[in-house]
Amino acid sequence: MKLYLRDQAPLIALYILQLFLITLVYRLDGYRNAEVSLYAALLSSCLFAGYLLIRYWRNRTFYARLSAPSPTTEELLNNKQQTPLSLSLHRLIKGQYRRYQTELQQYKHKLDSHIQFINQWVHQMKTPVSVIHLIIQHQDKPEFTAIGDELDRLRKGLDMVLYTARLDTFEKDFYVEELDLEQVVRSVTSSQRRLFIRSRIFPVIEFERPLRITSDEKWLSFVMTQLVTNAVRYSAGEEHRQIRFRGYQSGSEAVLDIQDEGIGIPQGDLPRVFDPYFTGENGRLYQESTGMGLYLVQQICSRMGHGVEIESEEGRGTTVRIKFKLTNV
Amino acid sequence: MFKIFIVEDDKKLVSLLEEHLHKFEYDTRSVTDFAAVLSDFRSYDPHLVLLDINLPKYDGYYWCRQIRGLSTCPIIFISAREGKMDQVMALENGADDYLTKPFDYEIAVAKISSQLRRAYGSYAASQQTRSVTVSGLTLDVDRLYLTLNGQKVELSHTEAKILEELLTRQEQVVSRDRLLDRIWDDQSFVDDNTLNVYVTRVRKKLSGLGVQDAVQTVRGQGYRLLPNWEDEA
């Protein structure tokens, strides 16, 4: 109503002015009967008010729609009135909405085919990786060991690309089952054994008792591989360091601590380590940081409903803690 | 002799696989025309099929269903897709097992022989008993025995692996890293000392057969086996 009145204000002003003007002209001409003049003004005003009211009534949803705070798209597309203004507004909105939808669909399609391309490409790259892996498998010369190390890096890089691309379609790619936590830890440390051996850092696995958790093995293994790679990378350089995997029960939760004796994370960087592309001071010291590792860890864990925390002291080491809901036995 | 049919479009991978499988006395044939997989299968009539998923023309799932129409022989998928859903899909299409790229020779051979054993009975297992012999010293890798001149000692799994590595590369230096890599899976806890302990045990077993100082330490690098024993046979 307010918007309508504001919209019609010039017309109302014009009308009142006209009324005065006409009355004035008659008056100057010598016509002095005020009563008749007032009566004529009243009749005319009533007519005008009637016009305003009818017009408002016919266009009320049009105005309501214009002044309502951001209605949903469906409400916006729902038109019952047949006045020209209302109809053309409806056409305008509908046209814009269609265009915007088409554009959105195009981008969605582009994104989908991009993800599909990445998926396919990474899988294709795994064939040459397998071939190199098989060629060097039974070789023990330092050159081949070096090629093997680089091959491991390639594999990790490929996995990182694959898992990052899949994060958006996580729900389609998720297979939950009951797992033995220690088993998962052991298979991850075993698959990363070259990394451990090369860095002369060895894992210690301590479990008080078997812990059954519910998770997706593939994603969880990826998370642990990221954490293990970080732990080894930031502990390398000194021998006889260990990486401790401690599994224990805390209330209704199964907890896994991955504790290294590495360089630690500066206090100032701690709150931001889970941000994407954040590398911090350590990232600048060590070249391989992409800033994606811990971000992916946190994203994946939160999607699987696991908690993840990080504690660190510079020079003393870092502990990453993953909390699982314990499966009732 | 077991016949293995390999359907994989990467020629290099196929040749490496075939070379390795021939060492275990498997007969192999690989597909060259990916439109005629089925007729190749019919003419070769294999005991086991290794099947890639990403293939030209039709995918592995398709061929798996086609082969299942003809035969119940074990089919093992080879694929880069490691997801559970992909594996479930493979099994639903009639596969028996699943091998994820990149894989080790050992895992490939283990899966093949276990499928053959399951499908064709236990005599399949006898085919792959491996042994390494150097100047009369014989290591039975699967039964964990070491024999020289009629004398026999038992070995642990880890000791056998170390000896296998040293014997197949006699007179060469085998790096610590490689030995650690080999014994990793058997141990709940591995570090640098673990290897020292096991090498000491291997030396003790060898001296039990009268072999002294055959395993030499090469400082900073690894170990070397010199066949300094006498073969009386």
pLDDT band at B204 (very low <50, low <70, confident <90, very high): very high
Q: What share of chain A is helix, strand, coil (3-state, %, to 5)?
A: 60, 15, 25
Cα distance between residue B91 and residue B76, in whole Å: 9
pLDDT tens for each residue of B134-144: 888 889 888 88
Give the residue among A255, A154, A271 at the shortest CA–CA distance from A213: A255
Question: Counting Cβ atoms within 10 Å, is residue B44 exposed (0-12), middle (13-18) or buried (19+)?
Answer: middle
Residue to mutate among B11, B16, B99, B187, with most A CBs inside 10 A, is B16
Chain A CA closest to residue B9: A127
Furthest CA-CA distance within chain B:
62
d(CA B216, CA B11): 41
Tell me what pLDDT residue B232 has. 62
Give the pLDDT score at A47. 94
Calpha distance A291→A226 (Å, rounded): 11
- The one-letter amino acid at A58: R
C-alpha B218/C-alpha B220 separation (Å) is: 6
For residue A113, the Cα-to-chain-centroid distance in whole angstroms is 19
pLDDT at A321 over 90: yes
Q: What is the pLDDT of residue B225?
A: 92
B24-64 confidence digits (pLDDT tens): 889 999 998 888 889 999 999 999 999 998 888 888 899 99
pLDDT of amino acid A141? 83
pLDDT band at B127 (very low <50, low <70, confident <90, very high): low
- Is the pLDDT reported for residue A274 higher than 70? yes
Kindly give, in sequence order, each residue whose CB lies less than 8 Å from that of residue A103, ignoring residues fewer than 6 positions away: none
- The whole-number pLDDT of residue B202 equals 93
Q: What is the pLDDT of residue A87?
A: 84
- Nearest CB to B184: which of A142, A190, A240? A190
Mutation site, A119, A124, A129, A130, interface B, largest B CB count within 10 A: A130
A 10 A CB-CB count for A194 gives 17
Is B169 in Cβ contact with A205 (below 8 Å)?
no
Measured CA to CA, the distance from residue B159 to residue B88 in angstroms comes to: 38
Beta strands in chain A (DSSP E): 177-180, 202-207, 212-215, 242-250, 253-260, 307-313, 317-325
Q: Which residues in chain B are contacts of A131 at CB distance < 8 A?
A: 10, 12-13, 16
Contact A190, A152 (CB under 8 A): no
Q: State the amino acid at position A50 in one-letter form.
A: G
Q: What is the pTM of this model?
A: 0.77
For residue A275, give how far its alpha carbon lies from the nearest alpha carbon of chain B (Å): 27
DSSP H stretches of helix in A137-180: 142-166
Q: Pairing mode, if any, of strands A253-260 and A307-313?
A: unpaired
Burial class (CB in 10 A: 0-12, 13-18, 19+), B103: middle
According to the model, what pLDDT value does residue A299 have? 93
**What is the pLDDT at residue A49?**
93
Cα separation, A84 vs A97, in Å, equals: 20
More reliable by pLDDT, A43 or A173: A43
Name the amino acid, one letter, at A77. Answer: L
Assess whether the previous peptide bond of B102 is cis (omega < 30° from 0): yes
Least confident of A36-45, A138-147, A169-178, A297-306: A169-178
At B33 the pLDDT is 87
Contact between residue A311 and residue A321 where contact means Cβ atoms under 8 Å apart: yes
- Name the pLDDT band for A86 (thresholds 50, 70, 90): confident
ipTM summary value: 0.79
Contacts of A197 in chain B (CB under 8 A): 177, 180-181, 184
DSSP-based three-state secondary structure for B211 = coil
B15 touches chain A (CB under 8 A): no
Determine the average pLDDT of the residues in A142-147.
88
Average pLDDT, chain A: 87
Please check whether residue A224 is in contact with residue A188, taking contact to mean a CB–CB distance below 8 angstroms. Answer: yes
* β-sheet bridge partners, residue A329: none
Mean pLDDT score across all residues of chain B: 86
CA B176/CA A271 separation, integer angstroms: 41
CB contact under 8 A, B13 and A197: no
| pLDDT above 70 as % of chain A | 95
A contact set with B (CB within 8 A)? 122-124, 126-127, 129-131, 133-135, 137-138, 140, 142, 145, 155, 173, 175, 177, 190, 193-194, 196-198, 200, 202, 204-205, 216-218, 239-240
Residue A171 predicted with pLDDT over 80: no
> Which member of A123, A135, A218 has the closest CB to residue B84?
A218
CA distance to partner chain B, nearest, from residue A138 (Å): 9
Query: Which among B54, B103, B169 is the nearest to A123, CB-wise?
Result: B54
